[in-house]
Amino acid sequence: MSQENYWHTVLFLCSGNYYRSRFAEIYFNFLAQRDNLAWRADSRGLALYPDNVGPISAHARKCLDELGIALPDPLRLPIDVLERDLAEARLIVALKEAEHRPLMEARFPDWVERVEYWHVHDLDCAQPTEALPQVKRHVEELVLRLRRRRSPVALDS
């Protein structure tokens, strides 16, 4: 992860880094740029799926298109999370606690309690028309928190 001209990075985690976390990353970056926040989002996966087709879910792509948000160019493939990604992030968000806490415990036990866990279902439990608006709302709430606290010292609500 490169922080380039940004002061702080929020790292979104999900299983495949293909659907929820990618949507969160791209939507957060759109809002952060719009609001001139000194934050940038990146995303990674905790258990990449070899069956995913292409760099990003068609559901995430469609929702971003409906919001009028362009995809990054070039559009990268999903990336497996490394410990250095966690260390470089100022804030780490996993999209579904019941799914991602066990993966964090298995792969990065020292980081488990440093993660903010949301509760957004994957396609096995929720349709994109339900899940992506939840991610959108959570990202908007996060951006609002960061706007209220321009200093990154205290991020809790």
Domain membership flag for residue 138: yes
Give SS3 for 19: coil
Token pair for 59: 């559901």
Lookup: tokens for 83 = 């410990």
Most confident of 1-5, 33-37, 101-105: 101-105
Assigned domain for 2 exists: no
Confidence of residue 4 (pLDDT cuts 50, 70, 90): low
> Would residue 105 count as lying in a domain?
yes
Q: Is residue 34 part of a domain?
A: yes
User: How far apart are alpha carbons 16 and 26 in whole angstroms?
Assistant: 15
pLDDT for position 52: 86
Tokens 């759109």 map to which residue?
A: 30
Q: Which residues contact 64 (CB under 8 A, 6 or more apart)?
A: 23, 26, 27, 70, 71
Predicted confidence at residue 58, as pLDDT, reads 96
pLDDT tens digits, 92-145: 999 999 999 999 999 999 999 999 999 998 878 888 888 999 999 999 999 999
pLDDT of residue 3: 44
pLDDT at position 88 is: 97
Residue 25 counted as domain residue = yes
CA distance 27 to 56: 13
Number of separate domains in the chain: 1
Q: Is residue 49 part of a domain?
A: yes
Q: Can you tell me the mean pLDDT for 26-38?
A: 96
Res 154: pLDDT: 43
Q: Within a domain: residue 41?
A: yes
Question: Domain containing 57 — which CATH number?
Answer: 3.40.50.2300
Q: What's the CA gap between 48 and 39, in Å, rounded?
A: 26
Has residue 153 got a pLDDT over 50? no
Query: Is residue 43 one of the residues assigned to a domain?
Result: yes
Q: What is the pTM of this model?
A: 0.90
**Residues forming a β-bridge with 10:** 41, 91
Residue 123 lies in domain: 8-148
The dihedrals phi and psi of 130, each to the nearest 5 degrees, come to -100, -45
Q: How far is the C-alpha of 66 from the C-alpha of 46, rounded, in Å?
A: 28
